[in-house]
Amino acid sequence: MRHHPIRILSTALRLYSKHLRIDNRGRHPTLLSKLTKPLHDLVFRHLIKSALITQKQLFKSVSDQRIWTWGQNESITIAPPLCLETQITPELSKTIKIPTLKSKPFVCEIADVNLFGTNAIAVKPDGSLISEASAGMLSHSPLWRAVDFAMYFERHRFTPDIEIKSAFSLMVPWRENYFHWMLEALISLEGLEYYRKATGNQPKLIIPAPLMAWQRETLDLLGYDIADCIPWNYRIAKINTLVVSSHLTNDSGHRYEYFMRPSSCKWLRDKLLAPALKISNGRLFPKRIYLSRERANGRKILNEGELSAVLNRYGFSVIRPEEMTVSEQICSFHYAEAIIASGAALTNLLFANQPIVIETFSDPTINSLDSKPFQFYIQLNQVIEGKYAYLFGKNADHNRLPYYRDYSINPEDLAKLLDRML
C-alpha cells in the first residue's frame, strides 16, 4: 500500500511534538531530540519558511485601500548597563543601537483567510502563511508548531467549523505568559483601535479559551466585553476579512528578535495605567520592591532567606505577583522607586516611573546584548528611562538550559550593587 508523503510527514510531526513534551521547562535535549532535528530543520526552515509572508512582504502586497499606517520609524539606543566590576562582560560594555523597523506600524485587511490549529495560524487559499497572524511560529519551540503544521500539510482534508465575517486574533504563542500576552497580544490592539476609528468596522476579537483570570482582567481594563469576543475552540475557522496589525517582528518573520516600538509601549501603558490607578483608589504601595520567585517553576532564587537581611536593611518589601491582581501589579511598579526582579513580572516596568532596576540572572552566558531574555527588559527600561543594572548569581541546577536554572545570589554582591545604585 502506497502512503502519501504528506500523510507520512504529518504523522511524523505529530509523533515529534508528542516526544518534545518530555523536554519542556528547559531540560537538556535527549538523544532522540537531537536525532529528530533534521526533520525539524526540513519542515520549519525550508518548507514552512518558503510559504511565509513576512511583515515586509505583507506591507507591500496589500492595496492602499486596505492598509492604514500611523506613527513614524523608531529606534532604541541601549547604554551600557551598570553592574559589579567583577561581572563586567565585553558585550555589555558598549552602547548598542537597535535599528528601526523599515515600515511604520500598520493595520490591514486580508480577504479569505483560514485560521487553524491550537494557535489559530492564518493561511491563505494558496497555502501562504501570514507571519503577523501566525503566532511567529518560525521562531518558537517545535512543540508549539508541530501539531498545527501537521494540520497545515493536510489542510485540504478539513472543512471550517465556523465562518466569521470579520475578525482580529490575539492568539499569540506562549499566551499564558504575562510578557507575551502583554507585549505581543495586547500591544497589537493599538492597530485594531486605529482600524476601528478609521473604518467604523467592528471585527470580532478572537481570544484564547479558556482565558485565565488575569488575562480577563487585562481585557476588562482595556474596555473589551468578553461576551462579545470569540473564544478559540475550533480546528479551522473561515474568516472573510482578517484584520492584521503589525507586531514586534523583523522582516524575516521571526518574532523572537524583538524591537519594542516606544510609542506602542506608551500607548499600552496609558490604556492600562489609568483604569488601574482608578481601581487602587489612593492605596499606598511600597517604594522599594523585591519580586519573589519562590513559587515559580524555574529560575528560582534559592537563598531568598539569606537575602532578607540585605533587603530589610535597604527598605525593600517582598511582593509575590502571582498573589496580586493585574491592577495591583501595575500600581506596585508605578509607585516603586527601586525594583529587584527577574522573569515575566518585569513586564510591569511598562508602568514604572524612571525607577532603579536590578535584574538578576542565573548565568552570564544568557546575559548579553544579543541575548533575547536580556533585550526584553533593558528595552523596556529605556522606554521608561529607568536606571538599569544586572546581577549574576550562581547556578544550582545544571540539568536545565541556562535561562531556566535555579540559582543563588551572593548577599554581599547585592549589597554592593545597592550601595552603588541607591
Any domain includes 96: no
- Per-residue model confidence (pLDDT) at position 251: 46
Verify that 244 and 331 share a domain, yes or no. Answer: no
Dihedral (CA of 92, 97, 102, 106) sign: positive
The cell for 285 is 504601595
Residue range 258-272, pLDDT digits in tens: 567 889 999 999 999
Q: Quote the percentage of the chain above a pLDDT of 70.
A: 74
Q: What are phi and psi of 32, to 5 degrees?
A: -65, -40
Residues 379 and 285 in one domain: yes
Bond into 90 cis (ω within 30): no
- Asked which of 259, 289, 318 is the last residue of a domain, the reply is 259
**For the segment 336-366, what is each residue's pLDDT rounded down to a tens digit?**
999 999 988 999 999 999 999 999 988 766 5
Beta-strand pair 106-116/96-98 = unpaired
- 215, 234, 259: which is the final residue of a domain? 259
Average pLDDT over residues 227-240: 95
C-alpha cell, 422: 541607591
User: What is the pLDDT of the chain when averaged over all its residues?
Assistant: 82
Q: How many Å apart are CA 330 and CA 338, to the nearest integer?
A: 14
Assigned domain for 21 exists: yes
Residues 154, 195 within the same domain: yes
Compute CA distances 56 → 3, 65, 252, whole Å. Answer: 38, 17, 8
Dist CA 260 CA 75 (whole Å): 8
Q: How far apart are CA 105 and CA 324, in angstroms?
A: 33
Q: Which residue range is the domain that position 150 belongs to?
A: 5-70+105-259
34 Cβ contact list (under 8 Å, min separation 6): none
Residues in CB range of 306: below 8 A, 6 or more apart: 408, 411
> The C-alpha cell of 367 is what?
546575559
Phi, psi (rounded to 5 degrees) for 139: -110, 0
Q: What angle do CA 9, 11, 12 make, to 5 degrees?
A: 65
Model pTM?
A: 0.87
For the chain, how many structural domains are there in total? Answer: 2
Based on its alpha-carbon atoms, the radius of gyration of the chain, rounded to whole angstroms, reads 22
Per-residue confidence at 306, pLDDT binned at 50, 70, 90?
very high
Domain CATH number, residue 383: 3.40.50
- Predicted local confidence at residue 100, as pLDDT: 54
**CB under 8 Å to 322, separation ≥6 — which residues?**
295
Rounded-to-10 torsion of CA 178, 184, 186, 188: 180
Residues 249 and 135 in one domain: yes
Same domain, yes or no: 139 and 180? yes
* Residue that terminates a domain, selected from 217, 233, 259: 259
Give domain status of residue 232, yes or no: yes
Query: Are 195 and 298 members of one domain?
Result: no
Q: Are 51 and 165 in a shared domain?
A: yes
Residues 250 and 276 in one domain: no
247, amino acid identity: H
Rounded to an integer, what is the distance from CA 334 to the centroid of its chain? 21
| Residue of higher predicted confidence among 101 and 77 | 77
The owner of cell 507585549 is 183
